[in-house]
Structure 1
């Protein structure tokens, strides 16, 4: 039987740290810890063999569901439901969360199917791209400086557990891409072959740029192939997360059919 430590005070130092982790997009870097909130994210971590340093439950959930969680020797704390709501970053608090150690960044894998994120600002876009990458066989995501924090709470929620199936590096300078030995591809609204007609290399690295400015000129210069996404509806451009999903899917299908 897991013994949980009850905490009742909003002034407790741990509660203050949890509130920062849950509500401040940059707190994970300062604390070296990551906050996962909700059943889906926490189970996604456990399914990948990632054990939390700490599990936090609202009293109402711990009393009914706590015994269902395979937490081993993980430290567990419980807090009143109102206190959990005060630290949560969600409009509808999920009543439980995990604290994980911030993963150490791996080395760049030269031959890995890769997505490069260049100064993407919107956390929802970043998380959605991570989700598409994990689903479509891209195993590495490299985020250049200026991109929303990969382990921030909003990106984690949008990623829906994809983080735990990917090799993630963030805060990179452009020179950090030097070890990549796969072809780099980029999209454009005015140059390159249409995506549905193009022969796509595999593995490869897709370059996804800033929502308004696109890929920087310095990064664009490294692209060996440009493609356009057909837009028969006539809109000027696609949301970057939608464009990424289309491009990654085209690569995945190409890899399957050529193999």
Structure 2
């Protein structure tokens, strides 16, 4: 199973404390695993969005499958099989089934960070998973130490354990070209997050002082999806987040609030990304909230 869990971060944050963009039905997950989010070292701020640390301890014979609507980024993850690098997922919904007891220590890269950190000449094949060789020969041992810290309830220590490997890899990987691309992408993604409902790629490009074609080329070369795809995914993430917090929201009003001109278009995009229609998603979230 793929290993991607997402959210948003202040310094260290638990699942109950803030936005859960991408986590499907977060209320259902709260008693199944513990998620902490940790800000990166300043030396990694251009490449790393945040670190996430997950631990779980389920009763014998009990399993739990968590679904995530992925963000358009790669990850590096310390897990029991080793330290792995994950490109942007290929599937619309990513799932991980948990059983027994365990932990993982993940690093969510910034848009374009997967290509930059791994020193690739393209964004990477969607769905690709392999050893995080860029972190060096001690990565698996260091990852195991980080997981042990996580399972002792010390997510900050877990992140501090893997940070030197990431800093060394980042220092070796940075180039003037990647630095410029990551800065441009950071500005573009910030603009997408702040965009008013109904923002088009042309309007986004104009706000960034570039052309739609140049923006599309930047995304194709470093992210692997189009600006239009990212705008759409952001709207779905936001809609799912709002429904997860208040399942009683009017769906037509929600569609308009996140940038859709008609509810049918919103329903189609939501269904393709999340796997269920907004109304069904709201019902499952309501049941989880009790």
TM-score range, shorter chain: under 0.3
Structure showing the higher helix proportion among its residues: 2
What TM-score do the two structures reach when normalised by structure 1? 0.27
Larger radius of gyration: 1
What TM-score do the two structures reach when normalised by structure 2? 0.25
